[in-house]
Amino acid sequence: MLIGNVPSILASCVKLVSLILKGNKFLGILPSTLSELRGLEELDISMNNFSRRIPDYLESFIFLQKLNISFNDFEGAVPKRGIFTTATAISIEGNKRLCGGIPDLKLRSCQSKGFARKKFTHIMKLVLPSSFGLVCLFLMMYFVYLRCFNKTMKVPSFSFFSQSFAELSYQSLVKATNGFSPANLIGLGSFGSVYKGILDLDQGETLAAVKVLNLQSRGAAKSFIAECKALRSIRHRNLVSVLTACSSVDYKGDDFKALVYEFMVNGSLEEWLHPNEKEDDAHDKSQSLDLLQRLNIAIDVGSAVLYLHHHCSEPIVHCDLKPSNILLDDEMIGRVGDFGLARFLGDATCISSANQSSSIGLRGSSGYAAPEYGMGNEVSTSGDVYSFGILLLEMFTGKRPTDIMFDGGLTLHNIVKMAMVEQVANIGDPTLFQQAVTGETSSSINISQNKSPASIHEVKECLTSILKIGIACSEELPSDRPDIKDIVTQLNVIKNTLLGVGVHGGGRARIAD
């Protein structure tokens, strides 16, 4: 995360053999003093913000065997001598304004300024007169249109988002996130980074989560469009609310796209299920989720999926249900987020019918994606049910589906299924049984007002029922999986049984098979 110009004092390191500055935020030009480093054998300055022309002195580095300048902002002609004569020794991708070089690089040719100027002049002589007339005609029509329809013209960008927020500028997001500071970074995803930010709005300061798309990542632009399209038409208490969006250019003139969400103070479900994996979170998440909290969150997620599948104007498949995409608000209510892979069911079916391989990339995350997606099958609601089943098993066993213990054909689904035959205590999250022994819970209610904390027997019964649902949801064949309607109904029955209020509010309900 180093930033600024490369220190010229590096030139004094005349015996330097390898210089690697990869993945920082250096900017500007490489200092001319670096021409003194003629003993370099490897130079890697990729993934920075260097600009201008590639320094000519690199051609004279006779010992240089590897040069990586990729993903910067270099421009102009690529040199043709020294290391630049061997295409396999250099890496220059991601510099959109480079040209020329040896044929093996397959770059566009660099036209001379004289030729370009002559061509431009000729084109302008042909185009200007007619263009001027068209522009004048367009302006006249535009002003007439404004006079007649002035009251109906005001349609703000991204008007499908929160009515309290106008589309934010790039500069306002830079200010809100302290220049996209690493200290504000709260998450990394497949297509971008999420920063905590404080938006300075007319109604006061608002805490928000800013998802910045990495547009160099393949599929990131499509992810932005998919997420905007999905979020445009959905509203539910168990979905993360998007406040607004930003589609602009950054300080280098490159495309910039971001989505701004309401900030979830309790982070992601993943942080609560696996609190010891990050030392920085240990003091904040020292108390693990109890049985009722996990069950409530499972019902929250199931309710969100039920809404997406059955209560939207057009069914939506999320395609990426996993703990890191489940966020928790200040009341520990589960909210489903990240619709970057979401597809309207009609669109997904249409795409897959035309070309089954086109569904590759919509599968979701390893360990949570339905097995049929790996064979190129169409995206479907049963794929979300599979992911939800794996999520349930992880929530109540504390084991990730991607754990190293699952290899050689052994999966989280299989190991839970085998453990159910013996004893559920062998596979359930140990902290749930410890809480039953000590009587300590994290819930705001103590199971119910008229009931003592759940006993070990009740915890076992509850876990057995929940894990059976998880197993059924994560069956290999889509036809063997239940519908999300039945899943949510069964989870509510289990919750009522645990609370001792029964399905209809009285007595005790039988735990569902």
Residue carrying structure tokens 């995350």:
365
As a whole number of angstroms, the distance between CA 183 and CA 204 comes to 23
Dihedrals phi, psi of 243, to nearest 5 degrees: -85, -45
CB burial of 176-197 (b: ≥16 within 10 Å; e: otherwise) equals bbeebeeebebbebbbbbbbbb
Cβ count near 250 (within 10 Å): 15
- Please check whether residue 301 is in contact with residue 334, taking contact to mean a CB–CB distance below 8 angstroms: yes
DSSP helix/strand/coil, 388: helix
Least Cα distance to 257 among 315, 170, 343 occurs for 170
State phi, psi for 273 to the nearest 5 degrees: -75, -30
Closest CA to 305 of 110, 55, 93, 487: 487
Q: Which helix (H) or strand (E) holds 497?
A: helix 484-499
Q: What is the DSSP letter of 357?
A: G
Is residue 237 within 8 Å of residue 218, measured between CB atoms? no
Q: Rounded to 10 degrees, what is the CA torsion of 246, 251, 253, 258?
A: -20
| Dihedral, CA of residue 415, residue 459, residue 433 and residue 457, to nearest 10 | -110
Q: Give the separation between CA 118 and CA 109, rounded to whole angstroms.
A: 17
3-state helix, strand, coil in the chain (%, to 5): 45, 15, 40
**CA atoms of 171 and 10, how far apart (whole Å):** 33
- Find the catalytic residue in 300, 320, 329, 429: 320
Q: CA-CA distances (angstroms) from residue 512 to 423, 481, 490, 499?
A: 18, 16, 6, 14
**76: burial class by Cβ within 10 Å (0-12, 13-18, 19+)?**
middle
Q: Would residue 281 show up in a list of annotated catalytic residues for this protein?
A: no
Residue with tokens 């690529």: 78
Q: Calculate the CA 129 to chain-centre distance.
A: 49
What's the CA gap between 324 and 303, in Å, rounded? Answer: 18
Q: Give the residue numbers annotated as catalytic, written as ranges.
A: 320
